[in-house]
Structure 1
Amino acid sequence: MYHNRPHAHDIRKMKQRGEKISMLYVSTPDEAAAAAAAGIHMLSIEGKVFDAEMREAAGDCFVQVGLPYGGWGQFNGRPLATAEDYLRAAFHYAALGGDCFYCAASYDIQKVLCDNHIAVVGHIGLTPSYITWTGWRAVGKTADEAAALWRHARKMEEIGVFAAELEVVPDRIGQYLSENSSLITLGMGSGKYADAQYLFTEDVCGYGVNHKPRHGKIYRDMSGLLDKLQQERIAAFTAYKADVDAGSYPAAEHTVAIKDDEFDAFLANVQG
């Protein structure tokens, strides 16, 4: 399978050819398998749920593995803090089949990963892992702030970063960054000129429980189906418990029988 799915080189070629790239955030094997069946190009999967089963479910999709940032998550029981921590995590997930690795840490940590030939994905714009500096808002609506985003993109490009999530940035700024940088821009609410369009499965399928972002679009509203599924699950579990409480489960049809003569021989054997 490894040789059938695209690599960073292929994604760069897609950008050069001006091809549209689709990307989804998935968190279960079922979601990953559905994305692969639909022909989605790229998947974003958090490291905490990325394993061999997820890689298999993702099929030929190019997979970005999210490396947990600081206290936001852990690898091997400890938060990622040093460049060595990030490098160990990246190598671990690469061995499982990760194709690139989201890292919102400092430039020096990103550079260590790049220097070790890891395809690194940075972040431009609204960045949840250090949202305290901007608040939950679009980033880059002033000339000075947009220029800072450009300098950030250039710095990441300089140290060898492969791509960057481009989150809630004005569309014309997103276009300028995409057209004037070798970074693969993974646009989330940043206009149609980003190299890839990136959405969360929960927004596409309508079952998100968090705030629905401006850029979110529901293509199938599955919230009612999932609610009904949960109620049916609860009903099944309740009926099962009632059967156990009443002693009506297991019944004869759920039980392995033994012939009387064999049972009598067993008793004779064990009781001497």
Structure 2
Amino acid sequence: MMRPRPTVADLRALKGRRQLTMLRYFSLDEAEAAEAAGIDVASVPLDLLARPRYREVAPSIFSMTGLTHLEAGRPDDYLRWAGEAMGKGADAVYCSGSLRTVEHLAREHIPVVGHVGLVPSRATWTGGFRAVGKTAETALRLYEEVKAYESAGAFAVEIEVVPAEVASAISDRVGILLWSMGSGPGCDAQYLFAEDILGANRGHVPRHAKVYRDFAAEFDRLQQERVAAFREFVTDVESGAYPENRHLVRMPPAELDAFLSGLDGRAAGRAAE
């Protein structure tokens, strides 16, 4: 029996009761696999989420989409975009903008997810792509930031690359959901990128990522097979091995004779003109 897709209220009711699973993925194949595997939450590009087949293959996954504040613009622009995203099937929107923007969206009942810790679009303010909250002072600032998101109306925040003890202590003291990316098991969801889980990431693999399969090697093998198949095709064309009779459409003999006679007659007539 198909499980029902959770609502925001359902997710909030699960705080402290169990760990949710969360993925970032980019294709219908990954969405279908996530559904079959029982993934709870996904972060999905809007162009994927808006495809008609998305909800066919992932009917029960709570799916959020988002833009950074640099992409979305002013609060009203963000609100307009968020409304369009919800209309295309999003269950929530990610917002890395200011608390004023978060509050602007939440006031219109848009389910909003914020971001604390290592936020790529704001990393210059926290020292670059490194852990955040390793001192008491910065950890307390994280707590205040999470509380500010909660007060602004966000129902969840992604907490990225924060010491596990800090994330757990904050989660215990707030009502907002904390979705952990590299911030330990004391939060409400564990969040990874599908490309890391599948071993398809050919760049930097984060410390918190766990690789379960080696798709990169399989992609390399398939590419070698692709090149080999194309070479065999080239060889067959050059040698005359392709096309074979089974690849061709043949005309009935009587029709062929009539066609060739008519063709010869027309050709002769044109030559005489």
Q: State the secondary structure of the residue aligned to 1:191.
A: coil
CA–CA distance in structure 2, aligned partners of residues 256 and 36 of structure 1: 44
Counterparts of residues 110-129 of structure 1 (less than 5 Å): 110-129=102-121
Cα RMSD (Å): 2.7
User: Residue 136 and residue 251 in structure 1: after superposition, are their counterparts in 2 closer, same or farther (change >3 A)?
Assistant: same
Counterparts of residues 173-184 of structure 1 (less than 5 Å): 173-184=166-177
CA–CA distance in structure 2, aligned partners of residues 241 and 90 of structure 1: 50
Aligned partner letter, 1:35: A
- In the alignment of these two chains, the number of paired residues is 261
Aligned partner letter, 1:144: E
User: Residue 220 and residue 253 in structure 1: after superposition, are their counterparts in 2 closer, same or farther (change >3 A)?
Assistant: same
1:26 is aligned to 2:33: no
User: Residue 212 and residue 263 in structure 1: after superposition, are their counterparts in 2 closer, same or farther (change >3 A)?
Assistant: same
Partner of 2:74: 82
User: Residue 234 and residue 259 in structure 1: after superposition, are their counterparts in 2 closer, same or farther (change >3 A)?
Assistant: same
Q: What 5-or-longer segments of structure 2 have no aligned partner? A: 267-273
CA–CA distance in structure 1, aligned partners of residues 144 and 121 of structure 2: 20
Deviation at 1:124, TM superposition (A): 0.8
Deviation at 1:148, TM superposition (A): 1.3
User: Residue 255 and residue 65 in structure 1: after superposition, are their counterparts in 2 closer, same or farther (change >3 A)?
Assistant: farther
CA–CA distance in structure 2, aligned partners of residues 159 and 150 of structure 1: 14
Q: Which deviates the most, 215-224 or 184-193? A: 215-224
Deviation at 1:66, TM superposition (A): 2.5
Question: Percent same amino acid at aligned positions?
Answer: 42
Question: C-alpha deviations, 1:55-112, integer Å up to 9, x for none?
Answer: 4332311112132442xxxxxxxx4212232223222222222111111011122222
CA–CA distance in structure 2, aligned partners of residues 257 and 94 of structure 1: 55
- The answer to whether the 8 A contact 1:47-1:68 is kept is no
- The answer to whether the 8 A contact 2:19-2:187 is kept is no
CA–CA distance in structure 2, aligned partners of residues 103 and 12 of structure 1: 18
User: Residue 263 and residue 103 in structure 1: after superposition, are their counterparts in 2 closer, same or farther (change >3 A)?
Assistant: farther
In the superposition, the TM-score normalised over structure 2's length comes to: 0.84
Q: Which deviates the most, 121-130 or 3-12? A: 3-12
- The answer to whether the 8 A contact 1:101-1:118 is kept is yes
Aligned partner letter, 2:80: R
Deviation at 1:249, TM superposition (A): 4.9
User: Residue 257 and residue 129 in structure 1: after superposition, are their counterparts in 2 closer, same or farther (change >3 A)?
Assistant: farther
Counterparts of residues 199-238 of structure 1 (less than 5 Å): 199-238=192-231
User: Residue 241 and residue 181 in structure 1: after superposition, are their counterparts in 2 closer, same or farther (change >3 A)?
Assistant: farther
User: Residue 54 and residue 68 in structure 1: after superposition, are their counterparts in 2 closer, same or farther (change >3 A)?
Assistant: farther
CA–CA distance in structure 2, aligned partners of residues 183 and 93 of structure 1: 23
User: Residue 80 and residue 179 in structure 1: after superposition, are their counterparts in 2 closer, same or farther (change >3 A)?
Assistant: same
Partner of 2:270: none
- The answer to whether the 8 A contact 1:55-1:96 is kept is no
- The answer to whether the 8 A contact 2:40-2:62 is kept is yes
Deviation at 1:182, TM superposition (A): 1.8
CA–CA distance in structure 1, aligned partners of residues 86 and 166 of structure 2: 32
User: Residue 188 and residue 253 in structure 1: after superposition, are their counterparts in 2 closer, same or farther (change >3 A)?
Assistant: same
Q: Which deviates the most, 111-120 or 229-238? A: 229-238
Deviation at 1:232, TM superposition (A): 1.6
Partner of 2:139: 146
CA–CA distance in structure 1, aligned partners of residues 171 and 185 of structure 2: 10
Partner of 2:269: none
Deviation at 1:194, TM superposition (A): 0.9
Deviation at 1:241, TM superposition (A): 5.0
Partner of 2:56: 56
Larger radius of gyration: 2
Partner of 1:76: none
User: Residue 262 and residue 90 in structure 1: after superposition, are their counterparts in 2 closer, same or farther (change >3 A)?
Assistant: farther
Partner of 2:271: none
Question: C-alpha deviations, 1:128-185, integer Å up to 9, x for none?
Answer: 1111222111101111111111111111111110111110111121012211112211
